[in-house]
Structure 1
Amino acid sequence: MVFRTEALPAADRIDYWVELMGRTHAPMELRSEHTDDFRASQRVLDLGEVTVWSATYQPLDIRRTPKLIRQSDPEAYHLSLVVEGTGTGEWRYRETEYKPHDLIVTSSSLPTDFRSTTGPVTILALETPKDLLPLPRDMAPRIVGAPVSARDGMGALLARFLTQLTADTTAYQPSDGPRLGTVLNDLVAALFAHLLEAGDCLPPETRRQALTLRIQAFIREHLHDPHLTPAAIAAAHHISTSYLHRLFRDEDATVAAWIRRLRLEAARRDLTDPALHALPLHAIAARWGFPRATDFSRAYRAAYGTTPKEHRHQALHGHE
């Protein structure tokens, strides 16, 4: 989806942009010295639960107030890669200047005040639901507003992927969206874990949560590997298997059950994807770490009350 204020009368543009931001992101207050002829554009990519967009706009003051948060909170983390323009971001806990090649992390649940100092401003951004990144609320202030460079390390890895993704989408099919969203979400989880672990003298609980985030991102990245076991995960992170199980005590499943659930959810997406209708069931099973089709079918029925074959037939028949 592409939105451009130039398609509207000049007097209506800033109000339109305020309404658009409220619908695609969250309600916010916007002020600009260019209200007589405000120019802005936004291109939105729907990647399942993750949303990505690129936007260019004239200098703005953007505020997310406690009142607006009480009115509507999508419960999401927002990451912006600054391509052009400079400004400042102010939160209850810190104030940060931003410039090109910076990554800005914000939360829809925390008051925010952005001020553009030079423009136009161009950003590449993503928004991901908080429930996909199980970060305790008391740790969010450690990440929100923290300066992150996109020139090296985890920030550069995320920025390169985001830049390549938004540069040209012609090579992707609609069914690729959720998969790309999963990759982005894993990169965000890894970045958050890195930021938490990089803090000086962090309390043990914070380091434990950061490690859990990193392990969960690792699991999502290796779901296809049939040898992804608790022992293998523990070894890859230089911890004992018993400690790994303790990390997952606060989750809603054991490590093995968590892996199985993610694999079944991924297989379920493939089964309902018309672009993969010719892919054999055993290939989908193997693709998501089930080398034995019978094990896959048994686990699928236990989770969803139907066999993979029946579910695929119902989904594709309905699609047709």
Structure 2
Amino acid sequence: MWSTVSSGGLPAGERFEWFSDLVSREVMPTVISSERPASFHTEAAVMELGELRVSRLAYSPLRSRRTPALIRRSDPEQYQLALVSAGAMSLTQHGNDCGAGVGDLVFWDTSRPSDARSPTGDDREQQLVILQLPRTVLPLRPRQLDRLLARRIAGGSGMTPVLASFMTSLVDHGDQCTPTQLRQLGTVAADLAAACLAQRLDTEEQLPAEVRQRALVQQIHTYIEHNLGDPQLNPAVIAARHGISVRKLHQLFQGHDESVHSRIRRRRLERCRADLALPGALGRPVHLIAARWGFSGPAVFSRAFREAYGVSPTEFRALSINETCAGCTLRRSALS
């Protein structure tokens, strides 16, 4: 589902000019400059999520400016929310100026002049994951959102790490989804972006109830994911952590494909299954793998694993190692 372009196949002297022209033609008119155009390289990809787009971008240090004249020429009329996944960036817009590092979010408006740049003297490759959000998908007033333009949204607390984790998952797993699933993920992305921005503005009560509810469900999913190894993880703990009753927690999961218990159990089993398939983990006893992902004992884990996958953990590990060895043999034969 990713549409990808790269400067790798071009002569080094043509890469920067090609990228500059590509951005102005396919994204929006922008003045791009580089201190080292001869050594410039980039790779960009975009994926449609219904009304939204997500893009990932890796590039050599540069400066990108949007002037009033360029905005008048063409404007996608979007808000854009970027996760810094490598390197760093600075942004100036609407009288604000910020610097952001790995794990931080940065928010800007394509309809306003802006100046984005890599830190001076920083030769590291920059990597961003960007949500391109039509104005209509954010249920917050433009005047309120203006307060967040070119403001660093720190990645360590609240809804920010939940949104960052979701954006990273889109990059890692989005290409495994169907078009219908991608549209559904677009709705989730819009909800999480709105919840994250509203939290920064202290206006969460202004969000529609359904947006708050969907964002809360995703926040719970992220909490479960980060705490699978805790054997005490259960609905009561999850509900208390999110300030809701256990009854409310179960109500949130009604209409979904699985209950809270089922989700915890499935994700623990999937994590164990992935570890058991690793050749490098062959010396690690099965019961330690089970304990690592929160199972209370070997018998409970073995029974749950067999029910889910039709074989015991030990049998699955042996089959996985045999398949890996067979694949290596085939590759060696093809090369000889």
Q: Taking structure 2 as the reference length, what is the TM-score of the superposition?
A: 0.59
- Letter paired with 2:205: L
Give the total of aligned pairs: 214
Cα distance in structure 2, aligned partners of 1:216 and 1:61: 39
Which residue of structure 1 lines up, in the alignment, with residue 321 of structure 2? none
How do 1:1-320 and structure 2 match up within 5 A?
Answer: 1-117=3-119, 118=122, 119-197=124-202, 207=203, 210-213=204-207, 215=209, 217-218=211-212
Please tell me whether the aligned partners of residues 190 and 214 of structure 1 are also in contact (alpha carbons under 8 angstroms).
no
- Letter paired with 2:35: E
Alignment CA distance shift 1:221-1:168 (3 Å) = closer
Q: Deviation at 1:148?
A: 0.8
Task: Kindly provide the CA deviation profile for residues 13-57 of structure 1, in whole angstroms up to 9, marking residues without a partner as x.
Answer: 222212222344322111001211320001211111111111110
Cα distance in structure 2, aligned partners of 1:187 and 1:127: 13
Q: Taking structure 1 as the reference length, what is the TM-score of the superposition?
A: 0.62
Cα distance in structure 2, aligned partners of 1:111 and 1:136: 20
Please tell me whether the aligned partners of residues 91 and 117 of structure 2 are also in contact (alpha carbons under 8 angstroms).
yes
Q: Structure 1: 5+ residue runs without aligned partners?
A: 198-206, 223-320
- Letter paired with 1:178: R
Q: Deviation at 1:221?
A: 6.3
- After superposing on structure 2, the runs of 4+ consecutive aligned residues of structure 1 that deviate more than 4 Å are 219-222
Task: Kindly provide the CA deviation profile for residues 103-145 of structure 1, in whole angstroms up to 9, marking residues without a partner as x.
Answer: 0011111211112022210111111100111433322321112
Cα distance in structure 1, aligned partners of 2:175 and 2:80: 25
Task: Kindly provide the CA deviation profile for residues 183-226 of structure 1, in whole angstroms up to 9, marking residues without a partner as x.
Answer: 100101111211111xxxxxxxxx4xx5323535136669xxxx
Please tell me whether the aligned partners of residues 82 and 105 of structure 2 are also in contact (alpha carbons under 8 angstroms).
yes
Cα distance in structure 1, aligned partners of 2:114 and 2:66: 5
Moved more, 24-33 or 213-222: 213-222
The structure number with the bigger radius of gyration is 2
Cα distance in structure 2, aligned partners of 1:170 and 1:133: 25
Q: Structure 2: 5+ residue runs without aligned partners?
A: 217-336
* CA RMSD after TM alignment: 2.4
Cα distance in structure 1, aligned partners of 2:77 and 2:211: 20
Please tell me whether the aligned partners of residues 65 and 111 of structure 1 are also in contact (alpha carbons under 8 angstroms).
yes
